[in-house]
Chains A and B, each alone.
Chain A
Amino acid sequence: MSATLYERIGGEAAVNAAVEVFYRKVLEDYRINRFFDNTDMDKQIAKQKAFFTMAFGGPNNYTGQDMRNAHSRLVKSGLNEEHFNAVMEHLGATLTELNVPANLIAEAAAIAESTRKDVLGQ
């Protein structure tokens, strides 16, 4: 059996490292930081961990419906394609910064991209 992307990318340690870098980028991006503001930072970081575990194809039991529910509040306050693209940008930049090989970044990006319609409630 071949190792999963999650294992190849470095498992939980990789998720933890990625969250720190990613969340700094998101908080500094005026296009999207309003979605992440005004919430408890520790809780937000836990959600980012869920985001990366999922993007790395790791253990999670989120369904498309869960993704819809998790982001429906944001869609109501204007979440759109541009915002989604910004998050994809930061995902790529974060993994590049952490020296993740390009082919693994592409795999993670493809997983995240596959949630677009659900995240945007389309």
Chain B
Amino acid sequence: MYTLTIDESNYTCQPGETVLDALLRENINISYACKKGTCHSCMVRSTEVPPQSAQAGLKKTLQTLNYFLPCQCYPEQDMTIKLPDQSDFYRMGTVIDNTLLNRNTILLVIAFADAFEFKAGQFVNLQKSDGVTRSYSIANIPQQSNTLEFHIRRLPDGKFSAWLHDEVSVGDSIAVSEPRGHCFYLPERREQGLLLVGTGTGLAPLAGILTDALAQGHTGPIHLFHGSRDIEDLYRIDEMRQLAAQHPNFHYTSCLSGKNVPEGFAAGRVNEIALSLLPDLKSWRVFLCGHPDMVNQMKKQVFLKGVASADIYADAFLITPR
């Protein structure tokens, strides 16, 4: 018999009982559907490393974060479990930089007193004092200085983005959630090709993933495609070109889908350009971030080009409907 701890309450898991059945017996509100390990709707996270059989079929990145399927889990030790809807833990950070990257995107840097653990490419929720909450991707890798870097695009009348652009300045405090998401680099199969495709501020998580992969000594080819409609909405072009000049295995292409395409830029949609330049993607690892239409379309396109579904990592920047 093992003890399951959720939010400081203890429950007992009987021998031969799955964690899901134990929680349902205890009237814990947890979603589930198949009880067979297929639908993944029951997925939760543990503080301890869960039994391997309870992680079968989950993405590698989720496995490293100790996510598991309670319907497939017969505990092998006491477990502390975090339900998905369990309210986020927020920490206060201090804004130390807020400058323009281009005409509608800012670089926001937030510093913390203590270490902030995350994987490059994950996102956090930022919260305003009135409770409005939005997700933003982390653009850097863990730093000695305990800082997080964000790229934030102003949306017309966007509640949160306009506030960050217009009212938040250096020295202000801001509430930041724990890191979330499973779109990040794992240092394995270092010879694998990496394809990174992003639109707009989709470059933020990709920049983090890229820095991480290079720092961890990835040896396979790394191709980054960054797209927007107009050149004024791209950013960090020179930095990326410089990085490509320094690392022979890193290739960078900036893509413009609008009418005006100066020399040195590829004309067309970022996903189409990536697909046409890289016809064979078998056994590649792919990261897709930014506009939900691009992300969802490209997921299918790279899958059809032979990428295994477990090797496709994506963050669609969904906008909260009003």
Q: Are A41 and B303 in contact (CB under 8 A)?
A: yes
- Count B interface residues, CB 8 Å: 16
The majority secondary structure among interface residues of chain B is loop
Known contacts A27-B304, A41-B296; A59/B36 CB under 8 A: yes
Task: Enumerate chain B residues within 8 angstroms of A111, measured Cβ to Cβ.
Answer: none
Instruction: With A12-B56, A20-B309, A41-B309 as known contacts, state yes or no: A46 contacts B40, CB within 8 Å.
Output: yes
CA distance A16 to B308 in the complex (A): 10
Number of chain A residues whose Cβ lies closer than 8 Å to a Cβ of chain B: 20
Chain B residues contacting A45 (CB-CB under 8 Å) are 309
Contacting A at CB under 8 A, from B4-42, are: 34-40
B299 at the interface (CB under 8 A from A): yes
- Of the A-B pairs whose beta carbons lie under 8 Å apart in the complex, a sample of 19, sorted by A's number, is A16-B57, A19-B309, A23-B309, A24-B304, A27-B300, A27-B303, A41-B300, A41-B303, A42-B309, A49-B38, A50-B34, A50-B36, A50-B38, A50-B39, A53-B36, A59-B36, A60-B34, A60-B36, A61-B36
- State in angstroms the CA–CA spacing of A28 and B57 once bound together: 24
Residues of B within 8 A of A40 (CB): 296
Task: List which B31-63 residues lie within 8 A (CB) of chain A.
Answer: 34-40, 56-57
A16-60 interface with B by 8 A CB criterion: 16, 19-20, 23-24, 27-28, 40-42, 45-47, 49-50, 53, 59-60
Alpha-carbon separation in the docked complex, A82 to B38 (Å): 28
Residues of B within 8 Å of A46, CB to CB, are 38-40
B50 to chain A, nearest CB (A): 17
**CA–CA, A53 and B40, complex, Å:** 15
Q: A60–B35 Cα gap in the complex (Å)?
A: 9
- Give min CB distance, A89 to chain B, whole Å: 18
A interface footprint on B290-312 (CB within 8 Å = 1, 0 otherwise):
00000010011001100011000
